[in-house]
Structures are given as C-alpha cells and as structure tokens.
Chain A
C-alpha cells in the first residue's frame, strides 16, 4: 500500500459531491488516504440535506450535477452553513463555459463562493496543495 504522507487530517470531515461514480471513487479514496472521514452525495438535493445536518471541515463539489450550476449553489449553501468551510469545485467545463477563475481574485459580484476551482483532469498533488493551503497547513 502506498503510504500517503499524513497531513494531520485524521479526525477531519469532508463532504464530496460527485455524480460520476468513477471520479467519486478516486477522489474519495484519495481523501480517505489523507485521513479525512468522507461523506458523499451524488446529487445536489442529497448534498443539501447533508449540509443542513452538519458543517464539514472541507467540501469538494462537482460543478455540474442535476443542474449545470449545482456546484455554485452548493458552495453558497455550504458557506452559509459555515463560512469557514473551504470549498473546492472540480469541473470539466471551466474554459469552455468562459469561467476563468483565479482563486485569489475577488469576483466583483461576490457570487462565486468557492475557494478554489480545479480542472477535472485532476492531479492529486494539486488537490493536496489546495487542501493544505485552504486548511492552512504549514508547508
């Protein structure tokens, strides 16, 4: 078994929302290897129920679920539940839909509540870096 370097995420919870079963399995495995206890949902509706129930230490949402903007809606609701919860959106359509997000750029309307947006051709090292940054783990 590949030993995943622990970042002290044991005891932390993550909410993963993804309707692609393979992507779900891959990201869930990676988060669990990092120590997170992972709750999952396949639809926006399921995720909204989980968000209502409890706040999570980390949220990872697919952008397009049963709605094309499900990820944005879930980001908003997760932040409303707990503004400190870091939210990462993963999507295949960022550039095609004209979505050019810089996670450090303040969007003028304040609509996008995600803290990071990653392409779905996800490299787990990049996901790890974002998680570390958002959970303020020292390098």
Chain B
C-alpha cells in the first residue's frame, strides 16, 4: 500500500522533505511499518503544475506552499485531494487558502514544523484506515455523496418542475404548447437511467477485496458489443467508428470490465465529436499488457479542462459542451477498473482537434480467481 503525496513549492524551513514527512506519518501510525505502507512523493512548483498533477494521478494528500506573491494562484488551486497549505501570516492569504478549499492551513513562523507534524499525524491515521478498510477512499467522502445526490436529484427536480408547469397550464391548454417540456423531460429521464447504470458499474468496480471470477474474453467480440449501441447516435451525425484489433486477441478479465472501459471511452468519443468526424478504436498486446486506445476528431480540451477530469462527475462545461448530456462518472469507472488490473488511463487532447484516451491493463495469469 502506498500513500501518494504531492509536494508543491518550497516550504518554510525546508519542511517539504520527503524523509521528514514519512517520519512524521509513521510517528502517528507506528503500525504503518507492519502494514507494509510506503510513501511516494511527487514534487511540483506552482499552483498550475499542482492542479495538473492532481488531475493526472490520484494523491492521498497534497502539501502546498506558495510565496506571498503567489496568493493570486490560490483560487485556481482546484486539487482533487485533501491539501494542506503552508501560509504566511497574512489574513488575506489565509482567507484565500480557505476559499480555495484547503483542508488545513499551517502558518509559517516559529513552531511551524511542530504544527505541521501535528497536522500530518492527524491525517496519517485517517489515510491508513481508509486504505485498509477498502472503503472508497478518503477523497471520496461526503463530497462524492453530495455530488451524487445533486446528479440524481437535478433531473427529478426538473421533470417535476415541467409537470407542475403543465398542471398549472402555464402555457395554455393546447398540449402542443408543452411539446418541448415533454421532450426535455424524456431526455432528462433517459440521462438518469444512464447515470444509474454508471453508478452500478462504479460500485461493481469499487468492490475490491471481493473475489471475482476471471475468464478469457475475445477482444473483437467485446469491441463489437461496445460499438453496437452507439451506431445509431454516431450515424445520425455522420461520425464513423472503426476498430483495429489483431485476430485472436484475448484477455483474462472479470465479466463486464473490458466492455465497461471500451463503452465509456467510445461513448465520450462520439458525444464530444463533430458531425462528420471519426472515432478510432485500436487494441494491442505486448508482454502481458493490453493497450486500448480511443482517438477522436472531436472538440478536444484545453489543459486546464484536462486537469479537472480526474474528479467524479467532472464534466467540461463550455459553449461546445453545454447541450451534451453525461453523468461525469465514465472516466471514474474506466480509471477504477484500470487500477484493478494494475493499469492506468492517460489522456492527450488539444482543444479544437480531438482527444486520445489510452488504457493499459496487466493481465492476471489465466484460470486464476483473482482477489482484487
């Protein structure tokens, strides 16, 4: 088990020292040695790099130090991990850090290291418990539940709103006056069905520690199963989908995992594509690693939008994406399943040109019931 910690900037007294921080964590939880817990660190400079790093990888904790003139960067510090800010003794800096969502703020000055150690010790036990109990993880506490509630309640609230407007005959007596409300209600209910399906997929992928039966799956058949439901939507906008997989390519996996990965990536590639665009799915295997790549000629993403994709329910909202429905859970599902196979998801994208999503999975030995 590895606790991943992001270090941003240069802390007072050189406090962002990996060895020192590891020691502080162990002091609170001496059992960490018995539990085979390691700490890994990644260092960045500045809020922009921190945001990008936390968007690309999961971190259990981030320690952030910015110079006084760096306070302007604080509002943009949207990290997908709890983070501690080493602040200067300045009220407005303190407020900015709080507004940016800092979990803890430790002011520089005499006694800084002692105060920092106390903060680290309070985190270490929570992190260890969260990891050990196979719960969904520290960073997914209440905010995930709040977001899930928001995503489930919103469509219901809007459908109810339209029905009340119809009940009150807000637009007169003719049913045709309500065609748009009826169409929007059906669209929102359909999106809700998809969201519930995604939540079930995510819950299934999250149930690590449960023995899952691994069987051999032929990849061309899985691709066909994933592509089929998208053909109507793609065809109606002139979007082509092609698939390249070597003949006979197969992979040992739990039922539904490969389908979930490929379906979610293809669905996004179609949704965020241009009319007349294309989607290219390619699969290859080398030295036991399966590589799944989905490339599209879609609207693409700016770097700051890319950094937000690691959060659940993250949807890039701009003028191009406003009308595009989605649960925001698709990439969480892909990422979680990939991690079960010791793999990863990487994303390359350019606004206005398109995106590529690459998943790599390590194969378990054939015939094994894998405890994941």
Instruction: Give A residues with C-beta under 8 Å from B.
Output: 1-2, 19-23, 26, 29, 33, 42-43, 64, 66-68, 73, 91-93, 96-98, 120-124
Query: A21–B162 contact, CB under 8 A?
Result: no
Give chain A's interface secondary structure class: loop
Closest residue on chain B to residue A76 by CB atoms: B99
Interchain CB contact (< 8 A) of B170 among A29, A64, A66: A29
Assembly CA distance A93 to B150 (angstroms):
6
Contact A2-B143, Cβ < 8 Å, known A22-B184, A96-B149: no
A115 to B143, CA, bound (A): 24
Asked whether B156 lies within 8 Å of A121 as measured between CB atoms, the reply is: yes
B188: chain A residues at CB < 8 Å are 22
How far is the CB of B298 from the nearest CB of chain A, in Å?
A: 21
Q: Chain B: interface secondary structure?
A: helix
Is A96 within 8 A of B158, CB to CB? no
Chain B interfacial positions (CB closer than 8 Å to A)? 78, 99, 142-143, 145-147, 149-150, 153-154, 156-158, 160-162, 164-165, 168-172, 184, 188, 317, 322-323
- Per a CB cutoff under 8 Å, which of B157, B172, B322 touches A42? B322
Q: How far is the CA of A43 from the CA of B188 in the complex (A)?
A: 21
Q: Are B153 and A120 in contact (CB under 8 A)?
A: yes
Q: Which of B146, B158, B317 contacts A97 (CB 8 A)?
A: B146
A22 touches B162 (CB 8 A): yes
Taken together as a complex, chains A and B put the C-alpha atoms of A29 and B156 apart, in Å, by: 19
| Residues in A neighbouring B143, C-beta threshold 8 A | 68, 97
B168 near A20 with CB under 8 A, answer no
Q: Which A residues touch B147, using CB under 8 A?
A: 68, 93
How far does the alpha carbon of A98 sit from the alpha carbon of B158 in the complex, in Å? 23
